[in-house]
A = this chain, B = another copy of it.
């Protein structure tokens, strides 16, 4: 097992306090530090930047994100090299 991930939520747990990239329906992304999540995949991120097609659209600070519109969540540190 990579990083002791046995269930999908283990990855979210491992990513607390780290920067994550969150992909939403409709080609929108949020980048921010993951502070909290629940089983509905509702998230709280800090220092959030809203991106659309790789361009920053808005700076949002602390933000609650509803799980319903999320497609993927990826720790930013793993995007280029495997941890």
Query: Which residues from chain A sit less than 8 Å from chain B, CB to CB?
Result: 1-3, 5-12, 21, 24-26, 30, 35-38, 41-44, 46-48, 59-75, 77-83
Number of this chain's copies in the complex: 7
Q: A60-B74, A66-B71 are in contact. Are A1 and B35 (CB under 8 A)?
A: yes
On whether the beta carbons of A38 and B8 are closer than 8 Å, the reply is yes
Interchain nearest-CB distance for A26 vs B (Å): 8
On whether the beta carbons of A11 and B44 are closer than 8 Å, the reply is yes
On whether the beta carbons of B42 and A8 are closer than 8 Å, the reply is yes
On whether the beta carbons of A72 and B30 are closer than 8 Å, the reply is yes
Interchain nearest-CB distance for A48 vs B (Å): 7
On whether the beta carbons of B64 and A80 are closer than 8 Å, the reply is no
